[in-house]
Structure 1
Amino acid sequence: MKYPALSDIKQFYDWGCYTDEEMREYVRINWITPAEYEQVTGRSYYKPAVSVDLGSTQCELHPNC
């Protein structure tokens, strides 16, 4: 039996011990499957989250524009 088992990995993820990127590493090393990644994280393995910065505009950064 391998450790950590999927149930352990899920518990650690739920506790905040693992990030999504660390969970992706488990898939890359074939410890869990993409389907198991989705089961644990609730996110699609094949559609990574998109990061959008809705902060400052260019004009706020450069007042002379």
Structure 2
Amino acid sequence: MGVLSIGFGVLILIAPGAGALALVTWIGAYALVFGVFLIALGIRLRSFCSTAVGPGAGQIHGT
């Protein structure tokens, strides 16, 4: 694994534009997946809240 890391480091030194593009792509993909999971969690929590408290209970304090 260490040899591969050194190899990738050398490639990034040779072509820094490609390395920066790859890094930005990975960060963007992570942000997209994480955002989808957060939206799904928000929807699940909203339905859980209305089920646990009841539809006519009104606002929960702190929201």
TM, length-normalised to structure 2: 0.30
Greater RCO, CA 8 A, separation 6+? 1
Larger Rg: 2
Question: Which structure has the highest helix share of the two?
Answer: 2
